[in-house]
Every structure is written in structure tokens, then in C-alpha cells.
Amino acid sequence: MGSPDAYTKAEAYVITHVLFYASDLGQRAPLGLTVRDIERLDKAVNQLLGMYISARNWDLTAELISSSHCLRRSSLFVSFAWDCIRGSQHSDGAVPGPRYQQVKEIEHSVHDAPIVEACYHTTLVCAIAALISSYAACA
Amino acid sequence: MQRVREIAAAPGYLATVERASSFLLSVRSAPDTGQSGLRCQFQLLFALWLSGRAGVRCHKQVQSAAAAVSASVTRASKEATFDPYKYDPKLLLLCYRAMRDYGVECAPLKDFARELAAAFLRMPAVPRQLAVEAYLSEALANCENQGGCKESESVSRAAIELPCFDERLLLADRTTIESVTREVSIASLFGSRVASGELTTQLSAVLQVILLQKLQDYDLMLGAALLRAIKCLGLGGCEEARYAIAFLLSQQHMDGRFGYYARELREVPLENPDLDLYLPVTVSVLWAVVEMTVPGFCLLGRRSE
């Protein structure tokens, strides 16, 4: 799989989405992956999760939390990742996305389209991650 | 003169170290006056000494660099402009050790090492932050007195347990991460002893991820420092360390320097990028490369517990 530090963000999203499809968003064990594939993906997801927490990218952090559950593995960083997401969530429930700071600097108010746009996807994937985590907890 | 021990790096890596040495030799025309000029000279000597220890045939060049540093320090000392406490004491002590290895005398550094050793011996307990300095200064003082390097007495008295670190380190700023790498160097005496501490395993896992993140951010100096820290924790063979060393090696220019900074230099032009940017980056990366690729390499020598 190569070194995670060489992955672009787009490649990190590819990994997460392959796992979402292979596991039907965590509803079943991932299909089409060998035990070795799962081992390697587990390692890569764990490394990428730590890296994107460090980069304060809550969008990929949430995607990778979901991926870890889709693999039916427990990453060392999942619990801390949730702490970080909780800490960054706004009082209205929005979770700031990677472009939020940049958009905010242009002085939009919280209900302006660019701010909503900068939080929309991240808030959605955090909600999905919470759902997948709750399935995993029930299972 | 103490015999220079040479343990060669694996052949492929040796070429990398040789190229880096060529770059260092090309910037040896660094100004030899003033604090920044002397700092560059110390860095150059340290890196050339490392290259020699990695097996690069550069005996004459290291000797010549050692002699140049000795002459600059002696001259600055006579002019009362040399204050050793303005420099990193570890770097000075390592340079003094390099000079001794190559049979070069330097009275001001010798006095500095003795002064430190005496101060440490007077202390009832050596503060953890100064354990490396205590180890080096006393080992050097023992060399002077008894013709061979002995282990430091005060280091045995120093508390060198690693403090507790956890996942919160993932969000730490650059300065904090640098200080953690220093803590690891201190706790392990640059890898010469096994660092102990309750959460060493957790710290290793976090540092491995931060290493990848810093390399993705193209912070080569911090990446190299993290790689050395990981090696000091006994995990030089882990997957992240292997990825990191492969990445660092890929960032070497044909002339031996490390790092591609064309964009940064366009945004913030430097008067002398070779000295102000490429030298510290190359020294830091070279040190990590030597630590990672020379079998059994240990900066201060292996210390039995």
C-alpha cells in the first residue's frame, strides 16, 4: 500500500470509500478483502487517522473513524478522535470542515452559504461516523 | 589520540552519506567569526564527524574542520568574544569529542567540558534536562584524566524516566514536539540506554504517526528529529521509520544537500540559503540517516545497565 505520508487527501478518501462500499457502511464484514488486505488497511487507517487528527482535519478524521469500524477493528486513536470532534463542534451542532478557517476569515455570518458549505460535509460524515460507531457498539 | 571507530553504513546508504559530506565540504567556506559563523562551523564539524563514523573516507577533511573550529574558538576566546553558554552545550561537547577523536586540541572547549563536569559532580542530583551534558562532560573529563572514556558518575544519579505523554501530543505545536524529541534523547542518552517510562509504548505509537504527518507537511528537520527519537526508543525498524528514511533519502539533491525549498525561498529569500537553510536541514537529516543505516550506530556509545 505504500507509505501513508505519500497519500494525497484524495487517496485517503478513496480508501475510506472503498471500505464503506465493501462493508455496506459497516453493516457487514468487508467483502472482497483477504485477511492480509484487512491487516494492511487496518494499519493504514490507524496511521491516517492519527495524521489527520494531527492536521485537525475533522472531515477525514470522521471518515477514518467510520473506516476503522467498517474493518471491525479498534484503532488506538478512535476515542481521542471523538474527543477532538466534540471539542471542535459549534454550539449549533456544525463541525468545521477543512476550509472553515479560510472561509471564516472572509467574515461571513454563521448562516451564510459559504460557512454552511464549509461545515456541511464534515457535519454529515461525523453524524454517519456516530451511527456506524453505534452499530458497532450494539454488535 | 583516540582511535576513530568506523562502522560502515550499508553500501547504498554510504553513497548518500558521502554525497551529504560533499555538500558539507562545499559550504565549509562559512564565515568563521561571530556567533552564527561559529555555530555553522560547529554544525559542519559535527556532521563531518558523523560521516567519518559512518565509514566515509574523510579523515583529512574532518581533521581540517576540527582544526578550523579550534582556531576560531581559540581566537574568539582570546578576544573575549567566545561564550560557550550561548551555544547548545551538547553540540559543543560533541564537537570537542570529535576534535579529540581526530587529535586536535582546543583549550577553551576543554576548559568548558571540565567546568561542566566539575559542576555536575558537585550537584547532589543532576536535573533530568542536563543528563546528556553531564554524561558527555564527565566522559570527556575522564578521557583527559585516564586516557579512556569512562561512564559518567552523575548520570547514574540522574532521574531519566520519560515523562508521560499520550494522544494529546497529536495536537501539539512544533515546539512541544521538539521538546518531546529532546526528552527522548535525554531519557535514552541518545540511544545509549533503553528509555524507561510507564507509557513508552503509547508514546512510540503517537510519535510514529506524528513523524508521518510532519513529513507530509515537509518539515524535514522535525521529521529527522522524530525519526532519531523513534530509534532511541528502540523502534528504528518499524514500518513508519522505514517509510520515513525512504522519504528522506529521496529528498537528497545530486550535490548532497537535503530538501527542496524553491517555493519557500521565492517567498522568503535568504541571504545565504546554503548556510541558513540547507546546512541545518542536511545536518539533521544526515544524522538521522546515519543513526538509521549504520549497523549498531550509537552517538555516545552503547551504555550497559
pLDDT in tens, A13-27: 999 999 999 999 999
Query: Is-contact B85 B119, C-beta < 8 A?
Result: no
> Nearest 5°: CA angle at A76, between A74 and A81?
95
pLDDT of B57 over the 80 cut: yes
Lowest mean per-residue pLDDT among A6-15, A67-76, B119-128 = B119-128
| Residue whose C-alpha cell reads 507530509 in the numeric block | B216
Residues of B within 8 A of A53 (CB-CB) are 167, 170-171
Q: How far apart are CA B128 and CA B293, in angstroms?
A: 29
**pLDDT tier at B3, thresholds 50, 70, 90:** very low
Torsion angle of the four alpha carbons B220, B38, B57, B234, in this order, in degrees rounded to the nearest 10: -40
Between the two ends of chain B, the Cα-to-Cα distance in Å is 28
Q: List all residues 6 or more positions away from B184 whose beta carbon is below 8 Å from its beta carbon.
A: B162, B195, B203, B207, B229, B232, B233
Of B105 and B35, the structure prediction assigns the larger pLDDT to: B105
Distance between B254 CA and the closest CA of chain A, angstroms:
22
> In chain B, what percentage of residues exceed pLDDT 90?
52
Torsion sign across C-alpha atoms B277, B278, B279, B285: positive
Average pLDDT of span B290-304: 79
Neighbouring residues of A50: CB distance < 8 A, sequence distance ≥ 6: A76, A77, B170, B205, B206, B209, B210, B212, B213
Q: Are B179 and B126 in contact (CB under 8 A)?
A: no
| pTM of the complete model | 0.87
Nearest-5° Cα angle at B252, B248 to B254: 165
Q: Give the separation between CA B138 and CA B114, rounded to whole angstroms.
A: 8
- Interface contact B247-A80, CB threshold 8 A: no
Cβ-based contacts of A4 with chain B (< 8 Å):
212, 243
pLDDT band at B5 (very low <50, low <70, confident <90, very high): very low
Q: Which residues of B207-234 are buried (b: 16+ CB within 10 A; e: fewer)?
A: bbbbbbbbbbeebbbbbbbbbbbbbbbe
Q: How far is B299 from chain A (nearest CA, A)?
A: 28
Residue B297's pLDDT is: 87
What's the whole-number mean pLDDT along residues A29-54? 94
What's the complex ipTM?
Answer: 0.87
Of chain A, the percentage scoring pLDDT greater than 90 comes to 73
Task: Give the model's confidence band at A11: pLDDT under 50 very low, under 70 low, under 90 confident, else very high.
Answer: very high
Highest mean pLDDT: which range of A49-58, A93-102, B265-274:
A49-58
Kindly report which listed range (A48-57, B1-10, B245-254, B260-269) carries the lowest average pLDDT score: B1-10
What percentage of residues in chain B have a pLDDT greater than 70? 83
